[in-house]
Structure 1
């Protein structure tokens, strides 16, 4: 099927930028690990740090990046902030990519 000029719908600049930022988020191994862990349930920074053997400052920095893209969300319980996935679309892309990488 060929795309002709009459049916082609261009992507606006804002959408292009957002898509590129999401792929940028998914291009970093640390962010992939965090998103994959959070796909299995919510965690605090301490839990993420311990589970993935990362410095808490590294985890916090990456969570801030992911939160700015609305890929993760947070909720406070007392003094602890818990993080979870905020976008099932991106988690589905991540899971499909993992499945593809494992496919022989």
Structure 2
């Protein structure tokens, strides 16, 4: 069986995305003072809502990968690192988004 994955990564030359380099994370209100942040819960949200939730905490999204899933198409299946997991300041989160059953 072959599973198709689509990698959606925005960005211009150098992968900086529109408007310049990615925003780097901060530990303000999202983690410890040791340079880590905590990944907020995004599983079950729509992809746009998940990106917005991460942006609110200044956590960049590294990639959005569409995967076959029984969840509704466009909803976040999981993230890496997982919800509640530690993340070094400025490190991106990968979102795995449902492509639906037809995948």
Provide TM-score, normalisation by structure 1.
0.27
State the structure with bigger RCO (CA 8 A, min sep 6), 1 or 2: 2
Query: Which structure's CA Rg is the greater one?
Result: 1
Report which of the two has the higher share of strand: 2
Q: TM-score, normalised by structure 2?
A: 0.28
Determine which structure has the larger helix proportion and give its number: 1
